[in-house]
Amino acid sequence: MPFSDYKTALVTGASTGIGAEVVERLAKQGLRVHAVARNAERLDELARRTGCVPHAVDVTSTAALTELVDGLEIDVLVNNAGVSRTGNILTADEFAVDEQVAVNIQAVLHLVRLVMPGMVERDLGHIVNISSIAGVYNFGGNTIYHATKSAVHTLSRQLRVDAFGRRVRVTEICPGRVETEIFGRLLGDMDRAQREYYDGYESLKPEDIADAIEFAIASPRHVNVGHIEILPTFQVPGGLNFERRAD
């Protein structure tokens, strides 16, 4: 089992939801897990529960990320941190663009840039990127989110090219709707998000995503699970709109 090959992991967006679940899973597998998020209080609670190493760091700060990984040998990198904003490109403001680019793709690029060379040198490593079905399917709204997650999708494929010939595996996890706090933060109201997006729906749970990540990492060392698209059974992406106009 490749988990025995690895000693350390770094997980972003680790204070809640998918990130916290992944930290717990990797810690149970015996890895020393560096958990990264902005919420120090939640990270401290996670550390007490799992034994992870908490880092209260804003992933949009490249200087902070550089300082964080300095001197660390990271065997498993899980790029999970992500944000979204409502609206399409016609309604997006400057902050919506800059924040999503900074969190969803800029931070991912910098962490890979900082961590992957060590993996290549050691001939050992696994990078897991959390993208979204929004990165591979087009549907209305959240245009900036679609664009940034599409970039993560393309990056994940490109990293396999960059690591060619070395035992560095790259997995993209591409989820549909997962019951996390992302919609609550999007609306600024957790109760409203629960009512609008989760009540009455069979959504994915963070543990479902953690199961997929655990499967990919635990696969035999000669196996690279490159892309896992995981959706609720009752959620189907796709569709076609065709506007009919008389003029």
Q: How many CB atoms lie within 10 A of CB 202?
A: 12
Any idea which residues carry the catalytic annotation? 145
Strand residues in 97-226 grouped as ranges (E)? 125-130, 168-175
Question: Residues 20, 81: contact at Cβ < 8 Å?
Answer: no
CA distance 35 to 14: 5
Distance of CA 62 to the CA centre of its chain: 17
**Which tokens sit at 189?**
């109201």
Close Cβ partners of 146 (under 8 Å, ≥ 6 residues apart): 134, 135, 138
Let me know how long the chain is: 247
Bridge-partner residues for 168, per DSSP?
Answer: 125
